[in-house]
Structure 1
Amino acid sequence: MPWTERQQALLQGMGLRIWSPPPPAALRPAAPQAAPLAAPVPVEMPAEPPAESPTPAVAQRVEPTPAHPVVSARTPPAAPAAAAVPPPSAPSPQATGVAAMDWPALREAVAGCQACALCESRKNTVFGVGHTSAEWMIVGEAPGEQEDQQGEPFVGAAGQLLDAMLQAIGLTRVEADAAHQVFIANTLKCRPPRNRNPLPEELAQCAPFLHRQIALVRPKVLLAMGRFAIQQLLGRDEPIGRLRGQIHDYHGTPVIVTYHPAYLLRQPTEKAKAWEDLCLAVSVYRQRQGR
């Protein structure tokens, strides 16, 4: 189905060249296209200028086929010993009751958490935003400086790029119904000093909060953005390039992995791969909807 001028403009706003590679000879004919998602609530486009491109071709949606294996988070394939994730430390006594919390109790527990040293340097905890029964859930990494100041995930340039990516597939973070407004959360709820990588013990302390958020939202699709989000959901530490293009599993919920928007701003040539990941996620979502 040809993309509309509006959709092409959104893709160009992400810095993507719209192209259509010839299908491999062994690839089966594409399945009939399902109806597109409803038009999203408009969101702000990123400040980054679109990449220059010659006359664009029509972008092709990526449809999953049996070539995309389903990988379980509970019984992941064996990884090389060098890529093994260190075993997490035991959760704090405060975290042991998280599995029974409702939204108000969970929010209060995150705001008052002092389970690790990150509480000493944070300005705000970053709980998460969005529809509490969203059909799509986005999991990012640790909060940065602007997230720490505002108490909201994915703000600044990375947040603008994420908004454009979501809008391109008919989703939004602003108020809408559960099928179109996503829920966004981070692996850590506090910013590590100087934006350093999260420590294993910090990820372990925050894991119950994220797992409880997922249990309460009950999304139909999880989109893991970045290495530490993938590590927290799947227990995998291979490079993202090796995990892309697969349908992973988190306790019965499909997980699609992709690059973090902050990485895409540093490596804009990888945006085309991120777009393929989004198309795969849309296809998985439509399959779960029976469309």
Structure 2
Amino acid sequence: MGINTPLADYDWHAALAALAWQVDLGVAEFSVDDPIDRYALPEKLEPIVARFKAAAIAPAPANPAQDAIAAATHAANACQTLDDVRAALTAFDLCDLKKGTRGLVFADGTPGALMVIGNPPTREEEGEGRPFTGPAGSLLDKMLAAIGHERSSNNPATSAYLAAALPWRIPGDNDPGDADIAMLRPFLLRHIALAKPRVIIAMGAAPCRVVLGQNPPRGVWTDVAGIPVMPMQHPTNLFKSPAAKRDAWAHLLAVKARLAQ
């Protein structure tokens, strides 16, 4: 493209770079669609030049993905209670996952010392509207009971508060995409802040990616917002690899010891 190319045909960033290059070369006038009287007084040219200057400093075109993340962050930060977070997710319509869902999966149990975050909902969990159902949920209940915690407990010291990494099921039960994680992370982080757990168990790769922004080794302590996080295998994986139960038990004992401090 040359300097006579209409401005609208330029990529915004390319146009800005081209304009800066021409200014550096000492260019003081532009070829435009409007006729220019070269004998006119300088002040008569100012409106045309001003139009180009305004276009050069105009904001970049809107980025829908960034706008959605900003909207999610604003909505999440406005929440003052866990019920607010649930309501904000129910009202949030910018995530495509919500369009094909049968319902929101938020949490189960009583908020307290221990919070367990699992994978995005399965079809069964979506149908029941709560995380960790079916055989995986039954195994998790046994695992937590072994260290003195139950989702049915109303005592914050012995309860287990269970949540899903993402509130809606992913079609085909696939792994979550980076865009969905970035969009929904603000809600989960606000969820954690309002639940105020002393320790978090992130069960599975998806919870680690959403909460921590990475997929660290299982059994190695990390943290989010100053809260200790223990990455562990999801109960579903323990059915597939029974040998991993030994490591899972060691990780649970580490959680129990941290809670006793």
TM-score above 0.5:
yes
Residue 232 (structure 1) shift: 1.8
Residue 94 (structure 1) shift: 4.2
Give TM-score scaled by structure 1 length. 0.64
For CA contacts below 8 A with separation 6 or more, give which structure has more relative contact order.
1
The separation in 2 between residues aligned to 1:173 and 1:140, in whole angstroms, is 14
* Structure-2 change in CA distance of 1:103 and 1:237 (3 Å): closer
Contact 1:143-1:191 within 8 A present in 2 as well: yes
SS in structure 1 of the partner of residue 115 of structure 2: strand
In the TM superposition, 1:167-246 aligns within 5 A as: 167-238=145-216, 243-246=217-220
Aligned counterpart for 1:114 among listed residues 63, 70, 93: 93
Contact 1:92-1:115 within 8 A present in 2 as well: no
The alignment status of 1:255 with 2:229, answered yes or no, reads yes
Contact 2:147-2:256 within 8 A present in 1 as well: yes
Contact 2:103-2:129 within 8 A present in 1 as well: yes
Residue 95 (structure 1) shift: 3.7
Higher normalized helix content (fraction of residues): 2
The CA RMSD over aligned residues, in Å, is: 1.4
Q: Residue by residue, what CA displacement relative to the aligned partner does 1:250-273 show, whole Å, maximum 9, x if unpaired?
A: 111111111001111111111111
Contact 1:125-1:148 within 8 A present in 2 as well: yes
Aligned length: 194
The alignment status of 1:136 with 2:110, answered yes or no, reads no
Give the partner amino acid of 1:206.
Answer: L
In the TM superposition, 1:5-154 aligns within 5 A as: 90=66, 91-101=69-79, 102-132=81-111, 134-154=112-132
Residue 233 (structure 1) shift: 2.0
Q: Gaps (5+ residues) in structure 2?
A: 1-64
Match of 2:142 in 1: 164
The separation in 1 between residues aligned to 2:162 and 2:110, in whole angstroms, is 9
* Structure-2 change in CA distance of 1:119 and 1:138 (3 Å): same
The separation in 2 between residues aligned to 1:282 and 1:255, in whole angstroms, is 13
Contact 2:198-2:228 within 8 A present in 1 as well: yes
Q: Residue by residue, what CA displacement relative to the aligned partner does 1:77-120 show, whole Å, maximum 9, x if unpaired?
A: xxxxxxxxxxxx63152441312312222111122322211111
Q: Which runs of 4+ in 1 moved over 4 A?
A: none
Residue 182 (structure 1) shift: 1.4
The separation in 1 between residues aligned to 2:213 and 2:181, in whole angstroms, is 11
Q: Gaps (5+ residues) in structure 1?
A: 1-88
SS in structure 1 of the partner of residue 190 of structure 2: helix
Give TM-score scaled by structure 2 length. 0.71
The separation in 1 between residues aligned to 2:152 and 2:146, in whole angstroms, is 15
Contact 2:222-2:228 within 8 A present in 1 as well: yes
